[in-house]
Amino acid sequence: MSFKTALGLLLLAMLAMVAAEFSSWGKAKEKGSYSYDLSSKSDLNKLYNSKVYLAERFTRPLEGMSFQLGVLSHSGVRVTLEDGSKWLVHKGNNFGISSQTVVVDGRHMSSKWQFKEAADFKGSKTVSDFVKAGGTDYHILFDNCHKAAKEMMKGINCYSLNEFAKVRPQDERAFVS
C-alpha cells in the first residue's frame, strides 16, 4: 500500500469518526431524554457497589453502519456480577448526565456485539471501579469508548474466548447470550 493510499484511508476514517460525532451514528441524546434501567438511589448504590467477577470487552458497528473497521466501531465492557446479572459499561457522547460512562442492563446488547477478550476479576473490582476507569468526559479522538473499554480491562490478564474456556471451562456459557 502506498503512502498516499494509507494517508487517504486515515483521513477517510477520521472523517467518518467526525461524522459519527455529529450525526445519529454517535447515539447523542437530546438533553433530558435519558432512560433508566434502575431509578431508585438504593438500587443504583447496590449496583455500583456490586463486585465484578467476569468482564468481557465487546465491540459493535457504529449506529447506522453494518460493519466494523478498527476504530470505526463502538466498544464496551459487559460485567457479570455475583448474582449472575450482566451489565454493559460503555462510554459515548451525551450518554449520561454527570458522566459519559454509563451502565445499562446487558439485555440491551444486540447480536451485533462481538466478543474481544475476557478477564476474571474474581470480585476484586466493583461496577463503580469500571465506571471510574471509563472516565467522566468524552472526546472523540482522545477520550472515547475504545480508550475507556481498554482502561476498564487493565490490571488483570485478559484471555481470548478459547484461552478463557481453558482457564475456566465451566464459564464458557458466559459468552453465549
Question: Mind listing the pLDDT tens digit for each residue in 7-33?
Answer: 555 555 555 554 444 443 444 445 445
| Stronger pLDDT, 80 or 19, i.e. the higher one | 80
Q: Taking residues 53-61, report their average pLDDT.
A: 96
Residues contacting residue 8 through CB under 8 Å, at least 6 positions apart: none
Task: Judge whether residue 145 has pLDDT over 70.
Answer: yes
Asked whether residue 32 is assigned to any structural domain, the reply reads: no
| Lowest-pLDDT choice from 53-57, 93-97, 165-169 | 165-169
| Residue 166 in this model has a pLDDT that exceeds 50 | yes
Measured CA to CA, the distance from residue 91 to residue 101 in angstroms comes to: 4
Does residue 169 belong to any structural domain of this protein? Answer: yes
d(CA 92, CA 98): 13
Position 5 in a domain? no
Whether residue 145 lies inside any domain: the answer is yes
Residue 49 located in a structural domain: yes
Residue 29 located in a structural domain: no
Host domain of residue 93: 42-175
- Residue 142 is assigned to a structural domain of this protein: yes
Residue 24 CB contacts under 8 Å (≥ 6 apart), including other chains: 63, 64
DSSP reduced 3-state for 41: helix
**Mean pLDDT within 95-119:** 95
pTM recorded for the entire structure = 0.76
**Residue 9 belongs to some domain of the structure:** no
Distance from C-alpha of 25 to C-alpha of 147, rounded to nearest angstrom: 18
Q: Is the dihedral of CA 16, 17, 19, 23 positive or negative?
A: positive
Q: Distance between CA atoms of 135 and 117, rounded to whole angstroms? A: 21
The predicted pLDDT at position 6 comes to 59
Q: How many domains does the chain divide into?
A: 1
